[in-house]
Chain A
């Protein structure tokens, strides 16, 4: 299955990319995805430890780390917003 990751603001700057398309051979949870990303790149440790960062799955905020991700899902990484 494929998951699109979208990065914004300082996260995009730090990772030097606005998005990723990652592939898994089975459905995984948000928590498993998190651990997978941290094992690949230490920058993700900093991102996931920052309590001000919010994660939106298909435009809805994730409130349960055990939430299952499905093929075609879009997961966005959102630092605190500063519009207006």
Chain B
């Protein structure tokens, strides 16, 4: 299941969606809005997430399909929020389900690392006076993705 949404989500509800007695392991990644500093060292009030939804859905389907095939998952759920989010709010949820833990854990890490590099979402820091500051991509995220590409290809 893939969802891009303005609404928050409930972990127990989403877990029920992927639950099955064929699964022996679930791995989760939950990303939340952390208190951070802007480039001018001011505390942010939250974040704003922009998305090119038509493209992001295509890219998420490809990532999910790669995860399902490479790690023999039984299910893979990806939810990503868009719009304005306050500090502490949930941004993204990945749940991978498989027979054994190793596959679920690896696949979950692959999905969230891919999502940071290959999907059309953009973060902005929300500052005072309704100002927004573009969040830049981290080189570390890119390096991690290059390692995954060696494994996947």
Contacts and interface: CB of A to CB of B under 8 A. Distances in A.
B119 interface: yes
Contacts of B55: 56, 59, 76, 78
Given A9-B50, A76-B52, A81 B119 contact: yes
B92 to A, nearest CB: 6
Interface residues of A, number: 17
A82 B121 contact: yes
Contacts of A9: 50, 122, 124, 134
A9 B50 CA distance: 7
How big is the B interface, by class? 20 to 34
A59 B53 CA distance: 10
A54 B102 CA distance: 35
Given A8-B52, A59-B55, A82 B135 contact: yes
B136 A83 contact: no
Contacts of A8: 50, 52, 120, 122
B52 A84 contact: no
A13 interface: yes
A10 B121 contact: no
A13 to B, nearest CB: 7
Interface in A1-60: 6, 8-10, 12-13, 52, 56, 59
Contacts of B137: 52, 80-82
Contact of B121 (A13, A52, A76, A84): A84
B12 interface: no
Given A78-B120, A83-B119, A84-B31, A6 B49 contact: no
12 contacts: A6-B52, A9-B50, A9-B122, A52-B137, A76-B55, A79-B122, A81-B117, A82-B137, A83-B56, A83-B80, A83-B122, A84-B115
B120 A81 contact: yes
B45 interface: no
B132 to A, nearest CB: 8
Nearest to A10: B134
B116 interface: yes
Could you say which of A8, A10, A59, A81 has the most chain B C-beta atoms within 10 Å of its C-beta?
A: A81
A84 B108 CA distance: 12
